[in-house]
Structure 1
């Protein structure tokens, strides 16, 4: 086999005349090119580390400062070292080795360098102070005050030119710790519409007791951590919310991203995989070189980029009590699953990244492989779909040595995983509901054994060329994987393209070594463990009631004409729909990012407010249009204010979570914190933002955008809702719940959402045909 030939660099035979070595020059050439590629990568990382470390300074700026400083001192006939060399000469015999003129040059360079570093530190600290001001968020949508304009100008001045991905990390402010008093007040305000008077008064008493007694003590520890750590929330959030969870991560934690909804670039599975994999690898190269532009709000305000670090070459490794994140600095291969077999596919040859047609060639070889899975191999990934502790025990028992360890290393150390799915998924106009629901469930859990759920993300390419992603949640939040996915979708049909026959552009490689089939030796006891995990996973997957529907009656274009935030409009519609669906309000979770701060992740916007409930009740009792419209605007303003508070570090849920963690470390029990953190989120919502609008022409081709993604239900008797605003006239909703709950029905809830959106728009009496 070709790969076996390439794997051996030399052969030898023993003869009466001695040992005869037969070197394989091609293999040695590949070794040389591989080493050259590695050293180039190291140099680029070193250079980027230096550039990031001195940003907003630059080598050019260094030369300007030093030369200007030296020229000024020469013109003024001053000592450029400011007496530094003279003082050093008192302790060291400098004049023996360096002439007087050279001493002046060296001293001038040293002092000039100090001046340059001082300028950099001043710029960083000024920028950090500027970024700590969030008054710009309080302006009404579409209007910018003069103070905000001046502030934005100063931010641009102190931000430097041509920032790289991590350039602003040292300039971002730290996440502030809200006061215990403010957090308790906002908490009580958020639960007031959900509690009867007696229960509310009890909770109010618990909050007041906590605020006076235990709260200040816990707050002191949090303040101490906020001064010492980069972010007082993120490490505990990653560990306790994600890595310490012992339940299945499939459905409960992992989430998915969909392909185009109405565009089908090619029906050839291997070709779609070829373009997508190549685009992903190009993104990884840009990420390694820090050439991705940092995401900036209003093209001015930088957001934290820390979460990008573990996107590739990463895997979640199970442990008995807690999992860990394993990240490799470099990986030159991907792992591919097809019909129960795993393959290792090298992504580089001749010292370069494989081209799309060459990757398609590798996928074709895998699809043509008729070999049977080894015993236990087909359903092996079910271990990643079930409970975490049995997977950890199985890993320690059966995958720590021999070929099992080698093969597992290939998967866990791969750049990412690919599944060449043997089913067909696609939006069908003749059967839109069933086709989209099937598509979503396949991406969310598949057959429960054909996605490696521990991997940072899996690319899934279906038999008919449709594709999608399944992503693990602990390493980053959805906008990070969304950034990658936008890049892939913008590259695939337009920039990379396909031939008329549907293949990738280019030609197959005549000498490309084929994929390597992984080898396993899985004993019967391990196969039993696999089956047990598969049973757990299937029970969970079968219970998911998924519903995806494109809402195209109107979009953000018409909502903006109502002078209302599109997100606030949708969130209020969800509250109206939920009340119509269940006849009651519930604690509602809306994810908001805190990436305006260093290493920020998310915060919760508690969308069920007193103002929103007042509007919903008015709609239910069919109040007058004027009354409902007034209450709607009040609810939207309240929601916008809460969203601002969450984004600017003044949310309540992460603060309460960290106070609870500290209480556990101190061995203190708090009835208040215990009740707060045990309250179920029966409506969990999230917006999938479009972050790189410059990649898509949403006016001419709104169909060339991902149809969004979704996640499983958070509560057994609740709903999970994700939505993406596509262009001006389309909003895609992804709804999930559980069949086992008699209270929920995803399709019924979808109908209620549609009607709530239409009823709310009618209040504004706009011409729906005008866009």
Structure 2
């Protein structure tokens, strides 16, 4: 064991002949290499911090400004500091420079003033960039049309961004604008418009009265505090959103908050569990190294407009820590190990040896050792992780009372400070063409909740590798949103079968290490009282897991390629299909949640698009009543949806503003009947698109088997549906549907059939007009 080697690196004995020193040179070598690795990482972070701090400036730009300024001063024979150097000499120790010859005065003063000039130029460029990025007129322009204002705006942005320095992951952070606070009047208007199709005339008039009273009386007072926060804080929403929506929730995070991501749909790179784990763990660690060095290319809309990268910071070495009233997010600056769970046992696996990252075959070697270990779990160890799956208060109590002492503290710290968590599952999961529905549904449920004790649900990332080599992720939600994990997963999937690859017999390429220390079994001493608490949490989690009705649909009848030929946004098309499917499923409309990102702003996370509109309802009714103007109503509804999506992306949404107003009202101790009613409305249809952000990584034309399945989440409302969808390539759309078995109103498979039929029926509208498909 690496720890054992380090523990005996220095020993001594005292005898009659004096002190006998015993040094383990191999252990000292590992200690030296470990320290060297740590200092290299610190230096890289320091260097990147400077480069990000001066972006869009660069070292060549600094030298150019300095040389130009010094050259001008030397040519004109003038003091480049304009007398400032002489004045400073009276107060600070620069007298020597002031009394030397004129050439040295020029050099010293030129460097001083030139540096200040360079900093002023950077500050000016950054201010101009922030102003340019605050303008979103380009987003509201008609599709395919480029006005002169947009052309001028793009030229300005490209000319400022295109410097000598290649942007790193966090280069744009200081140039991103702050999220604006909408006016109370606009928010009230948009809210009333969004609930109009869901309320009777009398109910809507009552809500209008409540909204008007709020707008005139309490609203302005709450708005003042939000304005103040928006001036002072980087983002007026994100910290409260993380705290009150995620960390203060006292119910289970399994199913209710955590989400999952699946493997390839049709490709099976290897049948060996240890080999797949070896390649994938290595790929994840390579991604973490790029993340530490800020070498990941920042995500940019249309390859021009940067998006916030702050959520990447806590992807690894992060764990949610339970508390009595609120949880906290613990993030370590570095972690050199992972924790692997197999058959109820926990193993610590070092990811570095000889000062380098373990190679895939070496990681496979470690996984093989764990799989070959026949030892039994210690008392209480097998179901220990059920504490993270149950209610938060019992978990916090058990953690403080029984797991923060002795050997339990050391083992718990090892888990919580690991880079990420790995589960070697002893079941076989994959897409089975002969039984597609049941195979995918069961696969999704195992990723979402599994046995309720085989994942550490508090870890930022859980990697699950099944016995036959299929894999997936389970992610905790508080630290970041799904697109961040999706970015990692796309890189891992693109690297695994192609760049890393496998041998003909399914092993990772390379050779095992002859002297690699093996995994370290974690030791626990769990008393009977704690075991009782574990059993209680497990019963809560099992009841929650058994109530999940999950259904996966790989919709391959058509994809975004055909939808675009209809000149309709693919996202708007799918959202309208969901509205039509829901009405056919339940015979009524409902409040609908679609997640939209606000990462055009610094530290932005999400906003809600209220997809159920007057226009979408008119279209659905036309489809049900078989009216002739269906195609026209579909187009109008799609345009309305796109408009609302753009408003949400540009900080003009409704729900985050209402949420923050509600938080302020609670701080002030002033209840608002309007806000209480708004915040208590259930989202019976909660939807989210999982975007494919790096399509260039997958050659789906030549390798269509490398399509990803996407991921999903649990139901939000007891009597509602959760729907995640992923548009893959031109011909495939994957739907992940969830609901509760206990609800008599919902059935995920029934709703899935309604979605499929709605998609086909909507496409048939365009087939009536052949010109739209040309």
134, 137, 143: which one aligns with 1:135: 137
SS in 1 for 2:704: coil
Find the residue that maps to 2:737 and give its secondary structure: strand
Aligned counterpart in structure 2 of residue 365 of structure 1, from 369, 375, 399: 369
Counterpart of 2:411 in structure 1 is 407
Any idea what the Cα deviations from partners look like across 1:712-740, whole Å, max 9, x if unmatched?
00000000000000000000000000000
- Residue 128 of structure 1: SS of its match in structure 2? helix
Shift of 1:75: 1.1
1:338 alignment partner in structure 2: 342
8 A contact 1:269–1:464 mirrored in 2: yes
Tell whether the 8 Å contact from 1:190 to 1:606 is kept in structure 2 after alignment. yes
Cα distance in 2, alignment partners of residues 81 and 411 from structure 1: 58
Q: CA deviation at 1:217?
A: 0.4
Distance 2:479 2:95 in 1: 56
Query: Is 2:459 aligned against 1:455?
Result: yes
> What residue is the counterpart of 2:242 in the other structure?
238
- Structure 2 distance, partners of 1:686, 1:673, is 25
SS at match of 1:703: helix
Query: Which residue, 701, 704, 708 being the options, matches 1:702?
Result: 704
Question: Which residue in the other structure is 2:59 paired with?
Answer: 59
Aligned to 1:284: 288
Alignment of 1:117-516 (within 5 A): 117-161=119-163, 162-516=166-520
Contact 1:3 1:515 in 2 (8 A): no
After TM superposition, give the deviation of residue 145 of structure 1 in Å: 3.0
Shift of 1:103: 2.8
* 1:671 is aligned to 2:673: yes
Q: Which residue of 2 aligns with 1:35?
A: 35
Runs of 4+ in 1 over 6 A off after TM superposition: 766-771
How many residue pairs get aligned? The number is 769
Deviation at 1:78, TM superposition (A): 1.6
Give the aligned partner of residue 81 of structure 1.
81
Q: Over the residues paired in the alignment, what is the CA RMSD in angstroms?
A: 1.4
SS in 1 for 2:341: strand
Q: Does the 8 Å CA contact 1:180/1:219 hold for their aligned counterparts? A: yes
Alignment partners' CA distance in 2, 1:516 and 1:285: 24
SS in 1 for 2:766: coil
SS, match of residue 727 in structure 2? strand
Distance 1:2 1:164 in 2: 34
Per-residue Cα deviation, 1:341-375 (whole angstroms, up to 9, x for no partner) = 00000000000000000000000000000010011
Preserved contact between residue 411 and residue 417 of structure 1 (Cα < 8 Å)? yes
SS at match of 2:491: helix
Cα distance between partner residues in 2 of 1:526 and 1:90: 71
TM-score (norm 1): 0.98
CA distance in 1, matches of 2:757, 2:479: 37
1:729 to 716, 728, 731: 731
Q: 1:427 to 1:605 in 2, by over 3 A?
A: same
* Deviations, residues 688-734 of structure 1 (Å, cap 9, x unaligned): 00111221113222331321000000000000000000000000000
CA contact 2:74–2:106 (8 Å) conserved in 1: no
SS of corresponding position for 2:705: coil
Aligned pair in 2 of structure 1 residues 240, 768: CA closer, same or farther (>3 Å)? farther
Matches within 5 A, 1:17-32: 17-32=17-32
> Aligned partners of 2:14 and 2:36: how far apart in 1?
33
Distance in 2 (CA, whole Å) between partners of 1:203 and 1:339 is 55
1:13 aligns with 2:13: yes
- State the shift of 1:7 in Å: 4.1
Corresponding residue for residue 526 of structure 1: 530
1:760 aligns with 2:767: no
* Deviation digits for residues 535-554 of structure 1 (CA, Å, limit 9, x no counterpart): 00000000000000100000
Matches within 5 A, 1:91-130: 91=91, 94-96=94-96, 99-100=100-101, 101-130=103-132
SS in structure 2 opposite 1:763? helix
1:290 match: secondary structure? coil
- Using the TM superposition, name which of 705-714 and 536-545 deviates more: 705-714
1:159 Cα deviation after fit: 1.7
Q: Distance in 2 between matches of 1:367 and 1:141?
A: 55
Q: CA deviation at 1:3?
A: 6.3
SS of corresponding position for 1:39:
helix
Residues 92 and 56 of structure 1, relative CA distance in 2, 3 Å threshold:
closer
8 A Cα contact 1:483 1:692, kept in partner? yes
What secondary structure sits across from 1:320 in the alignment?
Answer: coil
Aligned counterpart, 2:600: 596
- Give me the whole-angstrom Cα distance separating, in 1, the residues matched to 2:703 and 2:176: 36
Task: Call closer, same or farther: CA 1:69–1:679 in 2, change over 3 Å.
Answer: same
For residues 397-420 of structure 1, the C-alpha deviation after alignment (integer angstroms, 9 at most, x for no partner) is 011121000000000000000000
Counterpart check, 1:744 vs 2:768: no
Q: Is the 8 A contact 1:249 1:386 kept in 2?
A: yes
Q: Is the 8 A contact 1:343 1:517 kept in 2?
A: yes
Distance 1:94-1:531 versus aligned 2 partners, 3 A rule: closer
What SS does structure 1 have at the residue aligned with 2:509? Answer: coil
The separation in 1 between residues aligned to 2:632 and 2:738, in whole angstroms, is 32
2:618 equivalent to 1:614: yes
Looking at structure 1, the residues matched to 329 and 671 of structure 2 have their Cα atoms a distance apart, in angstroms, of: 30
Give the Cα separation in 2 of the matches to 1:166 and 1:180.
33
Which one is further off, 58-67 or 363-372? 58-67
Partner of 1:545: 549
1:639 aligns with one of 628, 638, 641: 641
For residues 650 and 90 of structure 2, what CA distance do their matches in structure 1 show? Answer: 54
Secondary structure of 1:51 counterpart: helix
Q: Secondary structure of 2:761's partner?
A: helix
**Alignment match, 1:572:** 576
Instruction: Tell whether the 8 Å contact from 1:55 to 1:160 is kept in structure 2 after alignment.
Output: no
- Residue 86 of structure 1, CA deviation: 1.6
CA distance in 1, matches of 2:568, 2:117: 50
Unaligned runs of 5+ residues in structure 2 are none
Q: Distance in 1 between the 2:96 and 2:188 partners?
A: 70
**Distance in 2 separating the partners of 1:752 and 1:668:** 45
Check the 8 A contact 2:168/2:298 in 1, yes or no: yes
1:587-606 deviations in Å (ceiling 9; x for gaps): 00000000000000000000
Mapped to 2, the partners of 1:595 and 1:30 lie a distance apart of 42
State the 1:246 CA deviation.
Answer: 0.1
SS of the aligned residue for 1:344 comes to strand
- Partners of 2:235 and 2:494 in 1: CA distance: 34
